[in-house]
Every structure is written in C-alpha cells, then in structure tokens.
Amino acid sequence: MKAEDVKKITVIGAGDMGHGIAEVALLAGYRVAMQDVEQRFVDRGLTRIKESLDKLVEKQKVTAENKNVMLGNIKTFVDIAEAVKDADLVIEAVPEIMGLKKKVFQALDSAAPKHAILASNTSNMSITEIASVTERPEHVVGMHFFNPAVLMKLVEVIKGDKTGEATVQLTYDLALKMNKVPVRIEKDSIGFAYNRINAPTQILLGLMVERGMANPEEIDAKMKKIGMPMGPYELMDYVGLDVAYHGARYFSDRLSRDYEPPGWLKGKIDAGELGKKTGRGIFDWSKGRPEIDLSKAKEDFDPTILIAIQVNEATKLLEEGVVKSAGEIDKAMASGGGSGFGPFQMARGIGYDRLAKICEDLAREFGVKVFEPTETLKKGNI
Ligand code: 3HC
C-alpha cells in the first residue's frame, strides 16, 4: 500500500489528542471514523471538532461548505471492531497506560483489515512493546502528534524494532499529506525526540516548586514576557497533569529515577485536578484560560538554564542515534510547540561552553545526574 491508497482513517480515542487528530485527517480530505468507549466521549469529541472547524471558518481558512463536507465524512463509534473494519490506517490515542495500549492493539489486530497500518500516538512509550501483541509488527508504527493537533505542525514518525521501512515511509508521506512536518525517529527510544528533550526541564520545574524556589505564576510570567505563548506550567495544565505524571513515571521506571514525579504533582492527580480538562490543575481553568499576571515575573530566573538542559538532552539523542542530525532535532523542536526555535539553533548563539557550565552547576546544585553535561556538549562542535 502507498500513501495514495489510504482512503479511510480510524482514530481510537476522542479526547484531547484523538478528536484533534480526527480533525486533521478530515482537513486533509480523508473519510474518518472516531471511536471511544462511551457515546458521551465520542459526542464530546465531535462537538470539539465542530467548534474548532467553526473557528477555522471564522478565520476564512475553511469555507462553510467545506466544513459541512468534512462533517459528512466523519462517523463515530463505540464498538472498536465496527470502527476499524474497513480502515486503511488506524491511529490509537488512548491514555498513556501500556496495559491499555496493548489491549487496544490486540483488538485492532484482530478486527482491522490485514493491509491496515496500526499507528500509536503514544507520547513516550515503546512502539516495539506495543507491536509485540500483534501479528503484524512490521505494520505497527508511531505517529505522534502534538497538542493542539490542528495547529502544531510536528508529527514524529517512530520506527519500532520490527517496523517495516515501507510502513515508516508511508506514515511519513501521510503526515505530509496532512500538511504536517514529519520527523523520522530512527530508534524506538523513550519519549522519542520532543518529549525526551523536554523531560529534564520538567524535573527542574518540579523541583523548583517542591523546594519553594519559585511559584508557577512567577516562572510562567517570566517566560511569557520573553515571548513564549504559554508558560511551562500552564502548558502542563493544557496538555494534562495526568499526561505529565504518567510520562514522568514511565521515564523514571525505564530511564532514570531522577524523573520520579514530585509529591505536589502526585497530590494534584490524587485530587483529580488534571488541568484544563477538569477545570483546575496548577491554575484555575474554570473561567477559561488562566490569566498570568506578568508583573509577577521572577526577573532573576534565567531562561538560559532551560535551554542548557534541552540542548544537553538533545546531544544524548545524537549520541544514541535516535534522530539522524542536529538539523532534524531543530526541525522537530521548532515545529512541535510554541517556541519556533530548535535547541541547536539557540545554542549556537549562546555558546556550548556556557551551556555545559550551566548543566554542570545544575547537576551539582540539584543532585540530578540527568543534568550532567555530555561529552558532545562539552566538545561543542555540533
Ligand atoms: N482549533 C482552531 N483554532 C484554534 C484552536 C483549535 N483547537 N486552538 C486555538 N486556536 C486559535 C485561536 O482561536 C486563536 O485564533 P486567533 O489568533 O485568530 O484569535 C489562535 O489559535 C491563537 O490562540 P489563542 O489566542 O487562544 O492563544 P495563543 O496565541 O496562546 O495560542 C496555542 C494558543 C496555539 C495553544 C499557543 O499557546 C501555543 O502554541 N502553546 C504551546 C503549545 C505546545 O507547546 N504544544 C506542545 C505540547 S507537548 C505535546 O503535545 C506532546 C504530547 O505528547 C503530550
């Protein structure tokens, strides 16, 4: 099968990511099926797609007529077998729990046509492990979108140990057809590129709150003042504290104990305060997006430390062969979020020796091994 042969896409999960991916597929002209475990979840996903398409009509990016065609191209399901029975590509976007992903992939494998590609939108998890429960590991691939999927350009295309090259190429080509910026992840490695590079900054952000060194509003105000569309704590709420928590646990179990989620984050999860989706998280979302008071900016917080940590982690991906080049990493980081720049582009302006020194100091101050500068960062000839 080639990308041109894909006509029907099924998305499993109608939540934040699932409904957004379904919308992206509709915008690219595909027939779409969207499935979730309860009717009220698919109904809510469909409403969110309609609301988002209305915004695009308002901005004249889509015509009202085209919107109606797209809404005629989507069907919703609760029954997973019905949803995938004639799919060419299935994209799974269920919660980040490995046992759940495996159950879903077993169901997909038995109900989807033999030629169908089964893709996971997992943020961090092993594609190889997910594929292991199917009879078609060569057709299982990672296709990782970013939130909000309709606006963020990056799609990471992840090759599991047994994923066929034809499957990777087809997925890459499909992401292009969806008007996205695909980046190949050559080695199935925890957090792939974007989330792996951001993960150690989450350690620091967690520790700063845990140790009372700053509060979230002060840091977010500072980051917004220097041009970020959203501060890092607001972004955690936006994506979901449950996603941050499960991600940190996964990193902690498989990469380093340094990633163990902080107590305050666990407290939020236990209290059901998951961020935007529940109306309260780090901030109050009950009246819409939180208003960050820029006058509270912590002026002595130097954002270069976040850049240093990111660049250092990015050098590990080069050392491990996860992504082919510094240029591809920059492309991924500039397209996945709101910053618009890649770590190596920023590093060249700041100087590798300065960044390595920052990482050394942070590792000592916080006792976090993950912050220690790599040999590649110290050499700096990237
Ligand atoms: N559909 C259509 N339009 C939308 C939309 C949607 N779902 N969401 C926002 N918009 C539009 C708004 O209507 C607005 O349009 P306007 O400019 O014409 O008024 C425009 O986008 C900008 O929105 P806002 O004015 O509300 O706010 P911002 O300028 O802050 O933009 C944002 C919102 C695009 C979300 C921006 O804050 C941003 O880029 N944030 C960072 C997002 C990010 O980093 N995402 C990656 C997260 S990590 C991840 O996803 C990994 C995964 O594994 C968990």
Residue 160 above 90 pLDDT?
yes
Interval between CA 17 and ligand 1 midpoint (Å): 13
- Average pLDDT for residues 42-68, to the nearest whole number? 97
> Residues 200-216: pLDDT tens digits?
999 999 999 999 999 99
* Residue from 48, 53, 151 whose mutation best tests the ligand 1 pocket (most atoms within 8 A of CB): 151
pLDDT at 358: 98
Please state the pTM of the whole predicted model: 0.96
How is residue 295 written in tokens? 């006058």
What ligand 1 atom has the least distance to the C-alpha of 239?
A: 54
How is residue 46 written in tokens? 């469909």
- Average pLDDT for residues 82-104, to the nearest whole number? 97
Judge if the beta carbon of residue 55 lies within 6 A of ligand 1. Answer: yes
Please list the active-site residues.
144
Residue 170 above 90 pLDDT?
yes
pLDDT at 379: 95
Interval between CA 151 and ligand 1 midpoint (Å): 6
* Residue from 52, 59, 147 whose mutation best tests the ligand 1 pocket (most atoms within 8 A of CB): 147
Question: Can you tell me the distance from the alpha carbon of 230 to that of 247, in angstroms, rounded to the nearest whole number?
Answer: 20
pLDDT at 246: 93
Which structural domains are found in the chain, ordered by start? 3-185 (3.40.50.720), 215-296 (1.10.1040.10), 304-379 (1.10.1040.10)
pLDDT at 299: 96
> Residues 275-331: pLDDT tens digits?
999 999 999 999 999 999 999 999 999 999 999 999 999 999 999 999 999 999 999
> Residues 252-274: pLDDT tens digits?
999 999 999 999 999 999 999 99
Judge if the beta carbon of residue 288 lies within 6 A of ligand 1. Answer: no
Question: Can you tell me the distance from the alpha carbon of 226 to that of 208, in angstroms, rounded to the nearest whole number?
Answer: 20
* Residue from 154, 230, 294 whose mutation best tests the ligand 1 pocket (most atoms within 8 A of CB): 230
Interval between CA 2 and ligand 1 midpoint (Å): 32
Q: Whose CA is nearest to atom 41 of ligand 1?
A: 338
Model confidence at 339, pLDDT cuts 50, 70, 90, reads confident
Judge if the beta carbon of residue 279 lies within 6 A of ligand 1. Answer: no
* HEC readout, 88-136: CEEEECCCCCHHHHHHHHHHHHHHCCCCCEEEECCCCCCHHHHHCCCCC
Q: Between the CA of residue 319 and those of 128, 226, 316, what are the distances in Å? A: 21, 31, 5
Interval between CA 336 and ligand 1 midpoint (Å): 11
Interval between CA 147 and ligand 1 midpoint (Å): 8
How is residue 190 written in tokens? 């925890």
State the average pLDDT for the chain: 97
Residue 221 above 90 pLDDT?
yes
Q: Whose CA is nearest to atom 18 of ligand 1?
A: 59
123 Cβ contact partners less than 8 Å away, ≥ 6 residues apart: 96, 144, 191, 195, 243, 247
From 64, 54, 60, 105, select the one nearest 84 (Cα to Cα).
105
pLDDT at 340: 84
pLDDT at 381: 83
pLDDT at 314: 98
What ligand 1 atom has the least distance to the C-alpha of 152?
A: 45
Question: Can you tell me the distance from the alpha carbon of 19 to that of 44, in angstroms, rounded to the nearest whole number?
Answer: 9
Is the bond leading into 137 cis (omega within 30 degrees of zero)? no
